[in-house]
Amino acid sequence: MKPRARPVSPNPASSIDPDEVARFAVIAEAWWDPNGKFRPLHKFNPTRLAYVRDRLAAHFDRDIRRRAPFDGLRLIDIGCGGGRVAEPMARLGFSVTGVDATERNVGVASTHAAEQDLAIDYRFAAAEDLVAAGERFDVVLALDVIEHVADPQAFLASVGQLVKP
């Protein structure tokens, strides 16, 4: 039986696809299982994280050999899932906000971050909600998300509005 997707946002411009939300809700507990459904992500994530870290270090002129090289910068991880990107970014010193349209993902991510003693602001929300609230971030990540949204153009427009000038 397919779980029902709870409406995520009263925002009529939301680009969220309820079918995708329901699909990820079913497998939310598997995010941190290295041999589970997200096994390819576990294998790929170190390379991706190194690439993102290095590009951001160059952009912000930060020394990655420092303990928290990105201290003082805000990062949002849109479509954060279970926190597989948000947690390493928090360890690098970013003040991290993770948002996901799947409430169960937010619960899994919050629990895991607490177990790791990481202060990450996880929210059950859509990118459009943060735009409407006037939020802005130094870094906006939306990794592995575009293929899951109902309206890619609207989603990208919202993501662009979250980046600080």
Give the model confidence (pLDDT) of 19-65 as tens digits.
Answer: 766 666 666 676 667 788 877 776 888 999 999 999 999 999 999 99
Q: Is 139 helix (H, G, I), strand (E, B) or coil?
A: strand
pLDDT at 5: 35
Looking at residue 1, what is its pLDDT?
Answer: 31
6: confidence class by pLDDT, cuts 50, 70, 90 = very low
To the question of pTM greater than 0.85 for the whole model, the response is no
d(CA 14, CA 72): 30
| Tens of pLDDT, residues 67-120 | 999 999 999 999 998 999 999 999 999 999 999 988 988 999 999 999 999 999
Task: Compute the half-sphere exposure of residue 23: CA atoms within 13 Å on the CB side of its CA.
Answer: 8
* Dist CA 6 CA 134 (whole Å): 24
DSSP annotation of 136: -
Burial code of 109-118, b = ≥16 C-beta within 10 A, e = fewer? bbebbeeeeb
Of 124, 46, 118, 42, the C-alpha closest to 86 is 118
3-state secondary structure of 76: strand
Q: What is the pLDDT of residues 106-157, one digit of tens each?
A: 999 999 999 999 999 999 999 999 999 999 999 999 998 888 888 899 999 9
